[in-house]
Amino acid sequence: MPELPEVETVRRGLQPVLEGQKLISVVVRRNNLRIPFPKDFAKKLTGKTVIYLTRRAKYLLMHIEGGDVVIVHLGMSGHMTILEKNIPKPGKHDHVDFCTSGNVVVRFCDPRRFGLMTLTTEKKLDTHKLIKDIGPDPLANNFNYIILAAALVGRKTPIKAALLDQRTIAGLGNIYASESLFRSGILPMRLAHSINIVEVEKLTKGIRDVLSEALEAGGSSFSDHVKPDGKLGYFQNNFKVYGKEAEICSVCLKAQIKKIRQSGRSTFYCPVCQT
């Protein structure tokens, strides 16, 4: 599933072709994805200008003239592609087209249909059920180790599970949680409340560094992620532990990377570098 770097990469890629552009038509080819499309979804957007794009955690937000906001989640396999010339006919999994006054089509494709699109308003955005419980954004200027430490106080869940809880920190998923814990030298099985303040400071830096580097690389494209221009991200080439079970750790050069299951998710770690 796309995580924060992938969604932010999509947002930045779409900015030049959507912001300030009028939606001359919106084509919706099915009634639902993971949830039903709102009634008159296309009609409410047609003729309106996209003011700007933002992101909350793993949600892409399209702020529309008049106060509406489109909430987009890419799901497991969804991607948005910019089409400008010789626009191909939609395929079986091409569910939504946003056609702009700049003669560009932004097409949403989602083979597994785990993504979603819905509508809210600027006034109701912060209290929307998909948004209201989301924690702090780890790339925000005001995010620091004190905020993370406060979120971990008394938590008797493994630190990996705590990081995946979107109420603790926004946008961090399975890949970047594993990589961040490796960089900070913390075993993913440690209980969250056992992480001391020095370790939390290292963890905060590890999270920010991993996400920033992944964003610079356009995200990770070992699965379904594709940037809006059709190019792949390449941060998967920089993974230290994720997906490297039984390989020798590239840092300590001693231990094999281990893989365990936590809450139904794969976790990767080095038993020497992480304690």
Whether 88 is catalytic is no
User: Under 8 Å CB-to-CB from 101, ≥6 apart: which residues?
Assistant: 21, 22, 23, 24
Whether 265 is catalytic is yes
Catalytic residue chosen out of the listed positions 3, 6, 8, 199: 3
User: Under 8 Å CB-to-CB from 6, ≥6 apart: which residues?
Assistant: 74, 219, 220, 225, 233
Q: Which element (helix H / strand E) includes 207?
A: helix 197-216
For residue 244 the two structure tokens come to 């490297």
Cα-Cα-Cα-Cα dihedral of 53, 56, 61, 63, to 10°?
Answer: -60
How far, CA to CA in Å, does 129 sit from each of 120, 125, 140, 145?
10, 9, 22, 27
Catalytic residue chosen out of the listed positions 22, 113, 259, 265: 265
Whether 92 is catalytic is no
Instruction: Give strand pairing partners of 50.
Output: 64
Whether 3 is catalytic is yes
For residue 228 the two structure tokens come to 């809006």
Catalytic residue chosen out of the listed positions 58, 107, 202, 227: 58
Catalytic residue chosen out of the listed positions 2, 5, 136, 158: 2
Is 66:48 a contact under the CB 8 Å cutoff? yes
Core vs surface per residue 7-35: b (16+ CB within 10 A) or e: bbbbbebbeebbeebebeebebeeeebbe
- Residues with a catalytic annotation lie at 2-3, 58, 265
